[in-house]
Chain A
């Protein structure tokens, strides 16, 4: 099956810093989503981005489908950004496959 690798596995930032999270996948995909799992376990949809670039406030994402990777940018990080960020993909005719996540800690 498809492999989804996220890096880095852990990231510690000071409030106000910027960061880039990466997601590599091993096969072509029909769908790619980024999620933020908050400390209470809720997965929050950040982006639906099978290709191209999108921005939502301090967050933006870029997927280069031909090169099989996606990037999530977080600018001016806040303590509320802490949590686990998951990348998940749907290969053709299949179901959502998750990466292992990036644990982000933003310190005040």
Chain B
């Protein structure tokens, strides 16, 4: 199956600083990538859809100025949490979608990034 990497796997930062998380599709090109947030014991919540070469589409209630998304190439999307606060602490997971082939729209997920804001 396709592989999606995510870096870093874990990050601790001070309140007020910014953190960048990278998501890469390693063996396929992804026009569309997704960013999710997951709280303990809960399901995944979609934050935004990232399209290569265009602006991201954010879900209702997600602050686009706080969660900056850039999808600069067909294999890389980044999520920057700006001016992080303790309430931004969470598990962030990226996903890349296969657009064509025998299993269209199948999504593959990165290993996640655990963000702790102190």
Partner-B contacts on A (CB < 8 A): 30-31, 33, 35, 40-43, 45, 48, 86, 88, 90, 95-96, 98-101
Q: Is B7 an interface residue (CB 8 A)?
A: no
Given A30-B105, A48-B103, CB of A42 within 8 Å of CB of B43 = no
A-facing mask of B1-35, CB < 8 A → 1, else 0? 10000000000000000000000000000000010
Chain A residues, CB < 8 A from B46 = 95-96
How far, in whole Å, are A99 and B34 apart by their CA atoms in the complex? 17
Q: Is the interface of A mostly helix, strand, loop or mixed?
A: strand
Indicate if B93 sits at the interface (CB-CB under 8 A).
Answer: yes
- B residues less than 8 Å from A86 (CB atoms): 43-44
> Distance in Å from the Cβ of A57 to the closest Cβ of chain B?
14
Whether A96 lies near B34 (C-beta < 8 A) is yes
B107: which A residues are within 8 A, CB to CB? Answer: 33, 88, 96
CA of A96 to CA of B105, assembled, Å: 9
A96: B residues at CB distance < 8 A: 34, 46, 95, 107
